[in-house]
Structure formats: structure tokens, C-alpha cells
Amino acid sequence: MRGLAVFLMALLLLGCTGTAHVTTPLVAHKSQKIAGNYAVHIQSGGWQLKTNPVDASCSLWRFNTPVDESYVKAMQTVLTETLQSVDFRPDIQDTHTLKRNGYDAQISLVQGPAASQFGISPNSFGAGTDSDVELTLHIAILYPDGQRQQQSVTGRASKDGFKVICSSIADIIADAAREAVRDVVSQAVDSIDNQLEIRRRQVATRG
């Protein structure tokens, strides 16, 4: 009898775990490419999120929210379209390697803290669902002469909708995560563009 109770509890817990399937967003960018030859290291594996409820409604539900694949694809696509020449590297280069391989700089993108949650709130139709996702990314640029630049950006997104059953909340979470990816990648590209422009001005000033 006790074994049956354990089995039924396991089934209950299994039924309260869903997955939000995050698709890859298109990220707008400038049409003019950034001149130069760049090594890019995209660290991943840290954004396999667990989305938890913030209130009592659907409180037994948890949603696996894997963001890594969507993020990496979006970042690789936009950097390929933005940088004149890009080489995606699995490792971080030192200044000697950058010089030897003819890179103008290495751009490292390191995942920072991330959070995802959902809530249920009453409305005129019965109950509404909202989801919030936040992704922080650390950007570091290393030049062959040893100069470094660093900046962090945070992508945020909120989505809401009307869902009748708890399992369907996954769709709203996935939408929020996709938009958070779009936001953080867009901010990262703007940051890279700005930092490289600062570097170009510094080099020009030195003569």
C-alpha cells in the first residue's frame, strides 16, 4: 500500500513539470558591418532555467525553460551579420594568439544571473497569466596590445495571456524567454559596437 502511495505521488509530481520550448528570435541590427577580424567566444550552459510560480495558483507546477540554444543561435546569427569577419572560438585567446592569428580583438560573452517566474492574477475573463524573464550577460573585449573593455547588459521581457489549464502556461513563458533573448542579444550587439568605436577613436588619437 505504501509503495502504491509513493508511485501515485511520483506521477503527481511528474505531471506538474512542464517545458517551455524557447524558439530563436530574429534580432534587428545595423545594415553596415563593423570593420575588422574578430574571434568570438560565446559561453553557454548557464541558462537552463527553472520557471517557478510566485503565487498559490498552479503552485505545484514548475517549467523547465532551456534558453541556451535559442540564445547561442541568435547571437551567432547577429554577430555573423554585424561583424565584417568573425571566427567563433570554443576557447579564450591570449594577446599572443590574437596577434599570431591576425585578430583585431576577441569578444567574450559570458552568461550572468538569470531568472524566470510566472503568476496568475484575476481579471474580467476569470484569470490571467503573466511571465517575467531576466537574462544578464557580461561582455569582455581583449585587444592584441592588452587593452580590455568590459560591460554588462540585462535583457528583460514580460508576457501575459489567458490560459485555462496550468500546463498551457508554458507557451507564455516561452514567449517571454524568447523576447528576453532578443533584448539581451540586441543590447549586447549595441554594446560591442559602442566599445569598438571607442577603441577606434582611441587608436586614431594616438596617431
pLDDT (tens digit per residue) in 85-142: 999 999 999 999 999 999 999 999 999 999 999 998 765 555 678 999 999 999 999 9
Q: Give pLDDT, residue 7.
A: 42
Residues of the chain with pLDDT under 50: 4-14
Q: Give pLDDT, residue 150.
A: 98
- Residues sharing a CB contact under 8 Å with residue 3, sequence separation 6 or more, in sequence order: none
CA–CA distance, 96 with 112 (Å, rounded to integer): 28
Which residue, 129, 100, 133, 90, is CA-closest to 114? 133
Half-sphere exposure of 66 (CA within 13 A, CB side): 11
> Is the distance from CB of 35 to CB of 84 less than 8 angstroms?
yes
Q: Give pLDDT, residue 12.
A: 41
First-to-final CA distance of the chain: 83
Q: What is the CA radius of gyration of the chain?
A: 21
Q: Give pLDDT, residue 123.
A: 58
pTM of the full predicted structure?
0.88
Residue in this structure with the C-alpha cell 599570431, named with its chain if needed: 100
